[in-house]
Amino acid sequence: GENVEQHPSTLSVQEGDSAVIKCTYSDSASNYFPWYKQELGKGPQLIIDIRSNVGEKKDQRIAVTLNKTAKHFSLHITETQPEDSAVYFCAANPFSARQLTFGSGTQLTVLP
Amino acid sequence: ETGVTQTPRHLVMGMTNKKSLKCEQHLGHNAMYWYKQSAKKPLELMFVYSLEERVENNSVPSRFSPECPNSSHLFLHLHTLQPEDSALYLCASSHEMMSSYEQYFGPGTRLTVT
């Protein structure tokens, strides 16, 4: 089955700086890679995703990059703001499978 | 009300109790999921229902019993739980006919077993 590893487990940045979270996956058949943000007391919220036919996707201050050869993908947040503080999860799954395999999460803290 | 809702938001139960968690989705989706989220662990998929039929059960103990009466509602019936079952239980939904498996989560039920 798929195995997803996520690093770092905690990350602190100054407001305005960039944050990068990295994930690796094991199953070369995986082709869907979503990122979720979970704020305290809430469920995970899908913030961006990427499919294996593209290498990069951007949505305002967030971007995701995918390197299929190396089997890793990353979340980039630019111009961080205090409201970006949350736990971020990456996930992967083969297109035909229903099961998302999640990383263990990154606690991001943006310091004012 | 929009999105995925879950009730109750918090639940404390003894090991001999029987309780149920409820999930409702208002997104027109046809697949629903139960996940368990424990501290410092990745989300664990427990059950998947597609078109109201259970399609996956990831070796979950029988003290957890799911029910999906229609595509909008999902229940998780709990009985004789153990303290290690204390966790955040998340419900999610998706539309399997679309070309992706984007899952949308509810806020979760924080369960404490005493």
d(CA A6, CA B5): 28
Residue-level pLDDT, tens digit, chain A, 112 residues = 788 999 999 999 999 999 999 999 998 888 889 999 999 889 999 999 998 878 899 999 999 999 999 999 999 999 999 999 999 999 998 766 667 889 999 999 999 9
Residue pair A88/A106 in contact (Cβ under 8 Å)? The answer is: yes
d(CA B83, CA B101): 33
Residue in B6, B101, B109 to test binding to A, most A beta-carbons within 10 Å: B101
Q: Would you call B105 and A43 a contact, using CB atoms and an 8 Å cutoff?
A: yes
Q: How confident is the model at residue B64 (pLDDT cuts 50, 70, 90)?
A: very high
The CA-atom distances, in angstroms, between B20 and each of A106, B7, B48, B87 are 31, 9, 17, 15
Of A44, A49, A101, the CB nearest to B105: A44
Q: Is the pLDDT of residue B71 over 60?
A: yes
> Largest Cα–Cα distance of chain A, in whole Å?
43
Q: Which of B2, B11, B3 is nearest to B89 (CA)?
A: B11
Least confident of A53-67, A83-97, B36-50, B94-108: B94-108
Provide the β-strand partners of residue A7. A22
d(CA A75, CA A42): 21
d(CA A27, CA B57): 21
Q: How confident is the model at residue B100 (pLDDT cuts 50, 70, 90)?
A: low
